[in-house]
Structure 1
Amino acid sequence: MTSSSYFSPAGGLPPQTALMTQRAVFTTAYAFIPRGCFSDIVTSFLPGWTRTRLWLIARPMSGFSETFSQYVMEVAPGGGSDMPDRETGAEHWLFFTGGLATLTIDGTGYEMEAGSYAYLPPGARWTLLAEGKEPARFHWIRKIYETVPGLAAPEAFVINETDVPVRWMPDTGDRWGTTRFVDPEDLRHDAHVNIVTFQPGGVIPFEETHVMEHGLFVLEGKAVYKLNQDWVEVEAGDFMWLRAYCPQACYAAGPGRFRYLLYKDVNRHAKLRGPGAFGPLK
């Protein structure tokens, strides 16, 4: 597999001479947060975490992310957490883009580095400690797990993306593919977090319009991406949130690979609003 690079925001603050107008957009169908928005003044902090800051780029709210939250984490050496999340029923995905850390899941330790991926089901007991000379940098995606009677929750696992082959889409000449970390037919999973790869010239050749909500963080390269009615230039470090049914397409113009970390909700019924939500039917 071709060696990978992963963009991570460095923070800082633009100079007073910089133009304030960039590419940020918030609409009812999508939101676009360019890499230039990842400055020091928009970082957040979490209880239970030491020597840690984060950029909170998606959260459940009316008209925006409905199923997940996503953080871009920066944990300084020696920092971390013995109690990362008190949210009952939450499942977690971690994808590392730099640094070194020890992730302990139910008493078993794993060394995490760039390209490391972890899934943690609801109820898993886990801790994280940054141990390298540079900050540990990773994406942390959270979702309330949707239980199904008779269907057990998935087990925790840790893997590196270099150990997972890209599954190329048919009839694309290996220009468009996905690194899938779980079997798409495993119905225990109610969401997928994958890596999508386009080689130069690769395209999504139609306007995808479907029920899945998306979060896309660009890890590498550049492209033009169709978001609802708009073609938007995107590059490594940009984040896109797409509401359900927001049309999307992509053209990877090169010169190198274009890759992004993708969240989507899957494998569950759409929640219905019954008569009780608005009173009895008449």
Structure 2
Amino acid sequence: MTTAPTTTSTAPPVAIPKTLVGQKALVTGANSGIGRAVAIALGEAGADVVVNYVVGDDAANEVVAAIRSHGVNAVACKADVSSEEQVAAMFREVVERFGTLDILVNNAGLQRDSAFQSMTLAQWNTVLGVNLTGQFLCAREAVREFMRRGVNPEVSCAAGKIICMSSVHQEIPWAGHANYASSKGGIKLLMESLAQEMAPHRIRVNAIAPGAIRTPINTGAWSTPEAYKSLMTLVPYGRIGEPEDIARAAVWLASDLSDYVVGTTLFVDGGMTLYPGFATGG
């Protein structure tokens, strides 16, 4: 029997294992949506977490409180990831607070949608600046710390782990979102090139590509039964993704359970990249 899609279909609750005890993590864009869920899950897994954000002090402090409820440490750190100076200052604060860094989740991202012919240079530069340049700047600082410290086998098999938050739109073109799709395509090869270069240093770099996830950025796509039904034509698995679906994947990629996973994009999309329109022959 097939259940009709509703806006309340959710991921089943799954406990997070304590696979990150003693590790120090930084999650960018962590005061809402996917970043919030990832930061809390890393804390539940035993990591101390820095919650990066650029606006929304109260929301960031709420995430810090949620992480601390799992018996670990957490702090909020306000910084614009597209600013080289602010990123450098943030990483100095991370090392001063926690001593080192083991995990970077490059999550901060935004959209500035527009028909291509109407897209302004500011819209283009803002999206590429945060989504792609921001990942470069944060990854560069993380790599410097990982290489300085090296492998501490009592903490992890790897010297460090970087998770780049991408999107199914690193593969699927998206009309009206050329800046966003370009940034995610760039993340794919940034991640793969960095993974290739850093693997000999025992630094693991991977990516997660979410599909349709229930977050405030895309409320219009799932908040009514009609919108949800239309969205489900793109998702063979028949439900929208939840931020916790991405969070669990991030915990796994950050842990030694995935120690031999290097340079891989993990698609967490309910099958969206399976081109469901061809399921009946096209």
Larger helix percent: 2
Name the TM-score, length of structure 1 as normaliser.
Answer: 0.32
Name the TM-score, length of structure 2 as normaliser.
Answer: 0.32
Larger strand percent: 1
